[in-house]
Amino acid sequence: MSNNNNVKKTGTIRVQSQQKILAAARTEFVLQGYKGATVQSIADRAELPKANILYYFKNKENIYHAVLENTLEMWDEGIGDIDPSEGPRAAIEKFIDAKVRMSFKYPEASKIYAMEIIQGAQHLKEFARTYQRKWVREKAKLFQRWIDNGEMANVDPVHLIFLIWSATQHYADFETQILTIMNRADYEEDDVEQVIAFLSDLILRGCGLK
């Protein structure tokens, strides 16, 4: 009876703390890798005692799982879907647009994902096997139909998807290299639009759509 009235308040602290922990963990996992990121370093970045981290997430692997899940949800939402009726040009344009904006907005999510794949995708083989494979096959079929109808050049649809993935994610994953080469400290407002314009232009022309 004495603490019935602060259930909600407690819940808010819980959610806030978990969010802070996940954000801190994402950064640490990117900078130090899974093994290199210590629970202590995550705690320091989240400005919470180490024991609290383990109170909320039980162990380090659970934190990593939570971070990965979070990342995949983003991947899923951010891409949106392709509307078959709009034709190849609009479809590719929208797809590139969405992926580039995601890369610039959530570079850490892209990096976590990339590292996971590079290291063998131990934690998300199932995701690629089921969800992604299906997604790629569906979209590839759609592109193939457009090719068969003479609406775009005869390019391999699956490799086209890989090309768009790699070219767009590159701006998140290789941020450091790109900025160093361009002699800049950070990306600027214009960069997103410029990259979208460049990639849309080149890829659409490459697909015989310009």
Partner DNA sequence: GTCTATATTGTGATAGAC
Partner DNA sequence: GTCTATCACAATATAGAC
Instruction: State which of positions 22-81 bind DNA (CB under 7 A).
Output: 37-40, 48-52, 54-56, 58-61
Instruction: State which of positions 144-183 bind a copy of itself (CB under 8 A).
Output: 153, 155-156, 158-160, 162-163, 165-167, 169-171, 173-174, 176-178, 180-183
Contacted by 54, from a copy of itself, DNA, none: CB < 5 to 8 Å by type: DNA
Of 174, 176, 147, residue with least CA distance to 159: 147
Non-local CB neighbours of 13 within 8 Å, separated by 6+ positions: none
Residue carrying structure tokens 């370093």: 41
Binding span for a copy of itself by CB under 8 A among 4-12, 77-85, 89-97, 197-205: 197-205
Q: How far is the CB of 107 from DNA (least distance, A)?
A: 24
Work out the burial of residue 109: count CB atoms within 10 Å of its CB; fewer than 13 is exposed, 13-18 middle, 19 or more buried. Answer: buried
* Residue 46 contacts residue 20 (beta carbons within 8 Å): yes
Residue carrying structure tokens 């995601």: 102
* Residue 196 contacts residue 96 (beta carbons within 8 Å): yes
* Residue 99 contacts residue 165 (beta carbons within 8 Å): yes
| Interatomic CA distance for residues 37 and 115, integer angstroms | 14
3-class secondary-structure state, position 171: helix
Give the x-and-dash track for 96-135 against a copy of itself (CB under 8 A).
---------------x--xx-xxxxx---x--xx--xx--
Provide the binding-site residues for a copy of itself, judged by CB under 8 A. Answer: 30-36, 111, 114-115, 117-121, 125, 128-129, 132-133, 136, 153, 155-156, 158-160, 162-163, 165-167, 169-171, 173-174, 176-178, 180-183, 194-195, 198-199, 201-203, 205-208
Provide the binding-site residues for DNA, judged by CB under 7 A. Answer: 10-11, 13-14, 17, 37-40, 48-52, 54-56, 58-61
